[in-house]
Amino acid sequence: MSEPEDAALEGRDRRAETRFIAMAAVTGIVTGTIGSFFHLAIDRLSTWPQALGRLLHGPWLVLAAALITMAVTVAMVAVVRRYAPEAAGSGVQEIEGAMSNLRNVRWRRVLPVKFLTGIGALSSGLVLGREGPTIHIGASIAAATTDFFRVSDTERRGLLGAGAAAGLACAFNAPLAAVLFIIEETHNQFPYNFRSYMGVIVAAFFSTVMTEVIGGTAPDFSMSVATPALALLPAFVVLGVLLGFVGVALNASLMSVSGFTIAMHKRIPYLMPALIGLAIGALFILFPRAVTGGENVIVSLARDHVVLSALLLLAVLRFATMVVSYSAGTPGGIFAPMLALAIAIGLAFGTILEGMLPEGTAIPLAFGIAAMGGLFSASVRAPVVGVALTLELTGAYTMTLPLIATCVTANVAARWLGGQPIYEQLLERTLKQAGVHPERMPHRPESELG
């Protein structure tokens, strides 16, 4: 090939790269904007129990809250089932399926349904996170972009990954963890090349910029903790093993209870969403820390001194409310509820250890922070993301070594216990329900850590 031909080819490649990165930037800007207003709406509407409390008191307040959450839950489930069934739940598995060319992203339906019903479900008190909907919204915006511009299949899959990263970055104001999430979680589907990789970074960057510009939408989990002594590292390993068990149990519970709810819908439609809404609404008044996504719970647990018995009760309740909330069938993620559950477990573990060691040796908050990354690693099986996400959220960089020890141990323990990554299980069930043959399903080779 002659030099002029080489130069022309290089010029076309650069123009294609510039075009793709520009599309990723637009995807990030739009995702950050829509995601920020999504979060603002949830924050504003989630204060309804306080307003209700100024009108009613005692049993009447509990009953009214239960009925309101029940009505909202049933209504949101009805809208999802009628217009966009794939909008239920997190949406991460839908994006992984789309990146494997096994699922279609019907963005014209998903965007309005995910946005509106997500606001309703998350503000009603259900124990669901914002990150799942914003990840799905971001990828849907990316899918819309690919429909307006002619792109290759590789570019389409790369832009879906960029949109998903933008959604996660917007939810937690954590662009680095968002990029790593795409690399670690979708490594079987994501097209690794310079263009796609830069697109993911650019989308996450611009989404975070828009979150900062709009302001007041990202959770502030800033925590300050002294560097734990190296002698405590074995304790973090033990915590990791414990979280490995919890992660496997959590995944199994999420799959079994949501499967039961799906089966019940065929017999008595909307019974389970109604019962779940009643219970969550009552708890919204009786025990507020046991419900909602958990962002405020994390902040309060890190700030307040909570006795061991209350921590254990909270962990049990949030485990149960998270599982039943996800099974209701509304949009909602599992990241934030998982982090809230984890910090309760970690604080309880640290409190027990503190009573066994010399005064000042153990720091309960340090174990609470480590548990946030550890449970994520055990359930999602993405330890690098677990470390990065926890550090970005809390700013507790003194916890780097304990976090690595906890996350790696939790990941290995979950694998040895035979657990499967939660999104892999959700995708497998989704594809089976759609009639996709198991041989076409993406899976992780046994040689991989995850």
Q: pLDDT 10s digit of each residue in the chain, 450 long? A: 555 555 555 666 788 899 999 999 999 999 999 999 999 999 999 999 999 999 999 999 999 999 999 999 999 999 999 999 999 999 999 999 999 999 999 999 999 999 999 999 999 999 999 999 999 999 999 999 999 988 899 999 999 999 999 999 999 999 999 999 999 988 888 888 999 999 999 999 999 999 999 976 566 788 989 999 999 999 999 999 999 999 999 999 999 999 999 999 889 999 999 999 999 999 999 999 999 999 999 999 999 989 999 999 999 999 999 999 999 999 999 999 999 999 999 999 999 998 888 766 668 999 999 999 999 999 999 999 999 999 999 999 999 999 999 999 999 999 999 999 999 999 999 999 888 865 555 555 443 444
Query: What span, in angstroms and rounded, lies between the C-alpha atoms of 127 and 365?
Result: 23
Its domain, for residue 263, covers 230-440
Report phi then psi at 89, rounded to 5.
75, -155
Number of separate domains in the chain: 2
333 SS3 class = strand
Q: Angle formed by the axes of helices 3-45 and 107-123, to 10°?
A: 30
Q: Which two tokens stand for residue 254?
A: 């999420």
Residue 58 lies in a domain: yes
Final residue before a domain boundary, out of 182, 214, 246: 214
Residue 73 and residue 202 in one domain: yes
pTM for the model stands at 0.93
Using only C-alpha atoms, what is the Rg of the chain?
22
**Are 261 and 136 part of one and the same domain?**
no
Spatial distance between the Cα atoms of 346 and 246, rounded to a whole number of angstroms: 12
Last residue of a domain, one of 159, 183, 214: 214
Query: 202 with 242, same domain?
Result: no
Other beta carbons within 10 angstroms of residue 117's beta carbon come to: 25
